[in-house]
Structure 1
């Protein structure tokens, strides 16, 4: 490792991280002292005002144009601004997650309660739509503890803040990677439940159609379902306006068991991607178009 690289890492660790954390805590504090509606509204304004000016918007707009080519350029721009508005609101709402839950209408809660009563090993899946933290609370607030995998931030102080705000969900979080994978398998082996967001690119995944183009897709949910005989339950949140939501929990999906494991995994992932696409088409402004889902 060169001296320059070492210096850059030390500067990032001892100067960059503390400054980044100070800004993050200050912004969180402002949102926390505001009422939920005011915080969400301010976050949305910041998102749709600043977001379209960021470099990341180029990637998001390119994704929108490729996925929804029949939309007019004006409509595509509206979707982009709507995405930033939603993302800004989500960030602001982290300071009010408990109240967010009390603003959420739940359809299909009986599916969750049935899984809890029967101790059926379950894989809940959703996507980065509306306020995606609602998925976790939908399970835990209906008597079903869940384990969720997440990527811990490089900044330890930021990680501690995220751990603090997510504690209200009542979920158990495990880090992405080998340790997290072992925790997930142990949870399912013990007839527990796991919540997954399955709409991000995985470079070593499998190509599955998504908006008419192959997208590298993580097959873990189908692999785990076959290995542990799990139920696969889709759940989708919707922002109904401001900081008001609906969470729809769908019935468990049929898991193909033809004996051809690779074919069964692919068939399952094709159906899952098709369902996520359906969700996104219904409310494109509420999906996080920033992910690099397709090859350039």
Structure 2
């Protein structure tokens, strides 16, 4: 199976990045009405944008599938997709970057740092950008469910990015080690996390992994957001935010749940601006798993462990 996937990617590399992207986008957009999880995407979009008509809801879903297809096909070109030269910003390239000064500050301040992102456009590009800038960064990722696909994707990522840390049991210790050495962590924070804290997202409560808030609290390090925007003509824009001024508790320490709510609010703004570029197929909202107790905080303002109802 792995050899078949490698052959598929080899064929896509022969097409070049633009034609590969077009092919992948067309295939998934065309097939999307037949894919069962498309119902999840449609339901999520309707709930997030109750003011939109059904035709617009279906347009956003089709465009989101197209973006996913493009992103999948672009894995074949991940090593060469990021072609921005920050030494020559006026040069013609398929990628443009804003917030370069924040990348440079992160690299030169001698401190650990946290960078959160979301499944928007081609979400692999920020980690490649960090490697290109010689920013010592470990990207936290969740491997695809299919072992063969996971193996090939890991090969591709390893050749294009800096450090990699799989999101699995025990990963928090490795992530902590990166920060203790003054490194940087990059992580996607827009997926459901069963043992997470509850934060508002797109008008509904959602369980979110609190690890970035916990690390921000422990290390008192800068926290930035980075997003990717897919532009016309097979181009991209990366935008790195200034460091967030995270909320603090009565003791002056960073409030974990409040920090995750603030980061998630940034992500919500990104999604609302470009809804057709987000991963709507994911079951982000799972109300049966959220109880009233999960919304509470301790007397010290710290997020408590959520209590779950049976699914």
TM-score (norm: length of structure 1): 0.88
Segments of structure 2 that go 5 or more residues without pairing to the other structure are 84-93, 288-311
Q: 2-side partners of 1:123 and 1:137: how far apart?
A: 16
Aligned to 2:5: 24
After the TM superposition, which residues 169-180 of structure 1 pair with which residues of structure 2 at under 5 Å, given as runs? 169-180=160-171
Aligned counterparts of 2:74 and 2:35: Cα–Cα separation in 1: 22
State yes or no: 1:249 paired with 2:240: yes
Q: Distance in 1 between matches of 2:276 and 2:173?
A: 35
Does 2:187 match 1:206? no
Q: Alpha carbons of 1:58 and 1:261: their partners in 2 closer, same or farther (altered >3 Å)? A: farther
2:255 paired with 1:264: yes
* Alignment of 1:62 onto 2:53: no
Aligned partners of 1:66 and 1:110: how far apart in 2?
Answer: 38
Residues 147-174 of structure 1 deviation map (CA, whole Å, 9 limit, x = unaligned): 1222234554333311221123322112
Q: Aligned residue for 2:175?
A: 184
**What RMSD, in angstroms, separates the aligned Cα atoms of the two structures?**
1.8
For residues 112-151 of structure 1, the aligned pairs below 5 Å read 112-151=103-142
Q: Is the 8 A contact 1:100 1:243 kept in 2?
A: no
Number of equivalenced pairs? 277
Counterpart pick for 1:87 among 65, 68, 79: 68
Cα distance in 2 for residues equivalent to 1:22 and 1:170: 23
> Is the contact between residue 113 and residue 143 of structure 1 (CA under 8 Å) also seen in structure 2?
no
Query: What residue in structure 2 maps to residue 14 of structure 1?
Result: none
Alpha-carbon distance in 2 for matches of 1:157, 1:44: 22
Query: Aligned equivalents of 1:153 and 1:210: distance in 2?
Result: 24
Shift, 1:64, TM fit: 0.5
- TM-superposition CA deviations, 1:241-268 (whole Å, max 9, x none): 2421000011010133334589811221
Q: Which runs of 5+ in 1 are unaligned?
A: 1-17
1:56 offset after TM fit, Å?
A: 0.7
Does 2:59 correspond to 1:78?
yes
Deviation at 1:274, TM superposition (A): 1.2
Distance in 2, matches of 1:169 and 1:56, equals 30
Compare relative contact order (CA 8 Å, sep 6+) and give the higher one, 1 or 2: 1
Q: Deviations over 1:169-226 (max 9, x none)?
A: 3221122223321110000111100000000001111111111110111111111100
More helix by share: 1
